[in-house]
Structure 1
């Protein structure tokens, strides 16, 4: 359970916030002044701190400075009745993650808190490499991740990360979807000189183009319709830290130019603002595209490409390092047996043979999900071949030979099986719920087929790219709403 510390001299507000967060499943501690908060922080750690700006004796900025001396990685949100630009700049300079203007909207409160807790989790996650004595760690927790693989190609990657992690240079990570590019980025961060500063990850393909500039660079109040408050962008929040931009090949040419300015000049301007803000961030990027080809075709800036690719790391697909598969399986079996409180499982011989003979187009992520599902479905401590539910190459071949009418018939057969189960579970909004599930699955599969190229995916789906981005954003919002409830 994540822990939130509330600090405010208003008892009524503390009561409201305590109940609000407790209902969402957080453990809440409340303090009426800054000194009491510092005493609490010296005794226990928190995942997030909400701190009032104006308090008697020991004000919010003084308390913030004390907190940052003790809890470097814990995000702090300042609560204030004075939402001025000067105050925003001052609190950010002192190390605040963001601010909330009283009286605040519950939706704004939830959004900012969810963002801050996500950053808190990312900063506290530990990424380690395999050593010569053991592959599977003796114990695991939610903040521990291990990169698995002792093949020569992976050992060479670990060696390269060790050489460049503390060198403050940009890194471009390439590889197919599911190979672990973000995990490698976190490994670089955790072994760098910036490990006590923010690590913020952004998927460039998941945010609609119309919102992306504001998300990265922030905006001033009144910058556009609906901009009711100043918004601190991800780059500004990441000052002195590490910014990870996944799917960088999806970034528009206009934003590429602005990112180049960050790398060259170390400065940004918020949307609708006229003040130059200095920033100091290390940028790590990742893509499953061939960016050199994109540069040649004019889809990606050549000058930005070379700025990003000071160091490049190419992660091989799982099929090229199948010698690591047994170690990965052992790791995931232990991880999910512990997570789901199941007896420690192991694979039967036929199951292991089936697993190592499959090509794993979804790479390590697909293998992880396969083992997760197998652990959940197993009835004992042995996972049989049938529990793996690995696609049968013969079945795939049959599907590939079907014509349009036969495929539609096959789809109808599947729906005949599934719809009675849906009706059994729910009698309301069946059409909407089913369409949402089908659309989400369809978009996901088409994006994978197109190598996450949104232009190609939109063309294949028969919709505009903006429509595709809007639907991806809608799916993301729904996931966040589900997490809140």
Structure 2
């Protein structure tokens, strides 16, 4: 017995009884109604798997128009339900019209029971397939939403960052290839995700690939896919990242790490907008928005002969340079506050705050690791602190080699660095007090520290 639900609609009550007896051993639930007007008030019609619908209900009328009318009404309420039309008056043009209106099949009265059951079971299989497709589409939509969700945000309102975001807004609505450059930790992937979020592809998937982590032997399989048996571990057909990102955005991070051989393969895929799976000869068209990123100087790499000039032209229609954090002074404390709230909540320390001298220390540091370093610095400070106030000593920042106090400085820079470090140590990290001791303004102290750390 099938788990399906069948609804039979016919004005002949003897026929309804016969079908109910025939179908009760084949399907979990069989419902019969003799008046089609009940369709309008029928509850949960979309839960019905198969409907057997008579074509004529009025005495002396055999045009089939009544059945076509109620077929259209059913399809409005339950478009995925399989509807089989029934009539004692067979006509090819009537059957064709019913199929055009969305009927699954057409049977004549009187019928052969075996043929009738075969038709109904075929319609039930179609209904199950439609439900599965609908569920898969819903799951796909949900997965795209989950994949595209990102708990990270672009934080800041500095002039340098605002300029970048203005460029992103201009470029996002187009499909041109974009190259994002910048130091490690500046947030190149966040910019790529922002491009996707503001684009016409925002409801499609964003696929990111770290090119530096893919070995040369797996490059084609990862990006272009493979067929079953293409190599030892290829136990099934698998789509590559290009196919997975179809209709969405493909982000290739660290593209400067590719060898010349893999660059040639990538160039071919980008130029032709097609990929060929490993082990196959079939070309598959792909429709993607390509975004690449690197911290390398690709122009210098082209001059050195280690990056293809034609590939650079392909990926570099628009170039976006993400500024380092040291050029975003106005954003340092904004970011620090954001990450403080995030990690204070995560580690159940909601009353934490950063004192003024600690803020001065954060502002004076050059942040060679950029936003990523700031994020990890704040998280580490939150975890290790024992009070409610984060002080300068709670922030462990990397330092360039500082001349020891028992060693004579050999340059003016070393002398200046030693004096600044000595003043900060004497004043427990208080930048205002250190600046007063040195006879300079606090801003001058910041500038000197940044110059020495650069």
Q: Is the 8 A contact 2:341 2:350 kept in 1?
A: no
Q: Deviations over 1:154-204 (max 9, x none)?
A: 111111111111111111000000000001100111111111111110100
Structure 1 residues 145 and 58, CA gap change in structure 2 (3 angstroms): farther
Q: Is the 8 A contact 1:35 1:58 kept in 2?
A: no
Q: Say which SS state the counterpart of residue 289 (structure 1) adopts.
A: coil
Q: Distance in 1 between matches of 2:224 and 2:128?
A: 26
1:251 positional shift: 1.6
Structure 1 residues 273 and 322, CA gap change in structure 2 (3 angstroms): same
Q: Deviations over 1:290-331 (max 9, x none)?
A: 001111122111111111111110011111222210111111
Q: CA RMSD in A?
A: 2.8
1:229 positional shift: 1.6
Q: Deviations over 1:386-444 (max 9, x none)?
A: 2211234456989xx9xxxxxxxxxxxxxxxxxxxxxxxxxxxxxxxxxxxxxxxxxxx
Q: Distance in 1 between matches of 2:404 and 2:383?
A: 29
The answer to whether structure 1 residue 175 and structure 2 residue 171 are counterparts is no
Q: Distance in 2 between matches of 1:320 and 1:35?
A: 61
1:250 positional shift: 0.9
- Aligned residue in 2 for 1:287: 294
The partner residue of 1:360 within 342, 367, 376 is 367
Q: Distance in 1 between matches of 2:404 and 2:220?
A: 44
Structure 1 residues 340 and 306, CA gap change in structure 2 (3 angstroms): same
Q: Is the 8 A contact 1:73 1:198 kept in 2?
A: no
Q: Distance in 2 between matches of 1:193 and 1:249?
A: 28
Q: Distance in 1 between matches of 2:224 and 2:47?
A: 35
Q: Is the 8 A contact 1:123 1:199 kept in 2?
A: yes
The answer to whether structure 1 residue 122 and structure 2 residue 147 are counterparts is yes
Range 386-395 or range 344-353, more displaced: 386-395
The partner residue of 2:219 within 212, 225, 229 is 212
Normalised by the size of structure 2, how large is the TM-score? 0.59
Q: Deviations over 1:417-475 (max 9, x none)?
A: xxxxxxxxxxxxxxxxxxxxxxxxxxxxxxxxxxxxxxxxxxxxxxxxxxxxxxxxxxx
- Aligned residue in 2 for 1:195: 202
Q: Distance in 2 between matches of 1:285 and 1:309?
A: 8
Unaligned segments of structure 1, at least 5 residues? 1-8, 10-33, 37-54, 76-118, 126-143, 402-485
Q: Distance in 2 between matches of 1:234 and 1:213?
A: 10
Q: Distance in 1 between matches of 2:312 and 2:253?
A: 14
Structure 1 residues 385 and 165, CA gap change in structure 2 (3 angstroms): same
Q: Distance in 1 between matches of 2:47 and 2:128?
A: 10
Q: Deviations over 1:317-363 (max 9, x none)?
A: 11122221011111111111122222142111221122112111111
Q: Say which SS state the counterpart of residue 176 (structure 2) adopts.
A: coil
- Asked which structure has the greater CA Rg, the reply is 2
Q: Say which SS state the counterpart of residue 235 (structure 1) adopts.
A: helix
- Aligned residue in 1 for 2:170: 163
Structure 1 residues 229 and 351, CA gap change in structure 2 (3 angstroms): same
Q: Is the 8 A contact 2:177 2:318 kept in 1?
A: yes
Normalised by the size of structure 1, how large is the TM-score? 0.55
Q: Distance in 1 between matches of 2:340 and 2:129?
A: 47
Q: Say which SS state the counterpart of residue 375 (structure 1) adopts.
A: helix
1:211 positional shift: 1.3
Structure 1 residues 305 and 392, CA gap change in structure 2 (3 angstroms): closer
1:46-445 correspondence runs (5 A): 57=125, 62-63=130-131, 65-67=133-135, 70=138, 73-75=141-143, 121-125=146-150, 144-393=151-400
Q: Deviations over 1:245-295 (max 9, x none)?
A: 000011222222222222222101001111111111111000000001111
Q: Distance in 1 between matches of 2:267 and 2:140?
A: 29
Unaligned segments of structure 2, at least 5 residues? 4-45, 49-122, 409-454
